[in-house]
Structure 1
């Protein structure tokens, strides 16, 4: 065998390429991925329900909430705060706030309820002939007494 050059030493082993198992995330929407010993570990984000890859918000439409709640910013919430005017009462029917003025109050329940004014009794026009100021056998017209036909004398006594 003849002489030949000594081969160069092999290059030192390159650092293995560390691949992040969470890039791209295998977990689906509304989820978070953690690298646990080189394997992805998926969980739903706080405020979201379900199991990855099917994490979802509490609601998307109000029909997904109880009838006395409405879907607001992906949460089932009471729709009353801020819906009605001053002094109004709010109830929720089929996810919708209903504003009313309480008993004894009036006004626009979406702006302001105020106490109802007391019912004013209509003033009875006074009748000068009731009770009659006239004596027997006399008649009254506009507070003036006259003797009936066939009678004479003082119509007031």
Structure 2
């Protein structure tokens, strides 16, 4: 029997997606936090430049926005430093981390 894997994995105020049997949790728009634990309402801070925002946010259309949610694709790891995000595919995934990373199948050898 198929079971919905999203039932108990993601925290509050999140969006759960399943792609190729892999679960991805993300905070709903307007919420921040760890999507596997709990996302809380984001205080909207107005800005004119990136430096007006916390170091893990960028200024997007006059509002501080969480950088990773805005630019990194699915199945990625995002590291933020000085208001700039660096996206990379999670281990075992390949592709363009700014669009979408897909599972890298490892084929086992049957011959030596």
With the shorter chain as reference, the TM-score category is 0.3 to 0.5
**Higher helix fraction: Structure 1 or Structure 2?**
2
**Higher strand fraction: Structure 1 or Structure 2?**
2
Q: What is the TM-score with the length of structure 2 in the denominator? A: 0.48
Q: Which has the larger radius of gyration?
A: 1
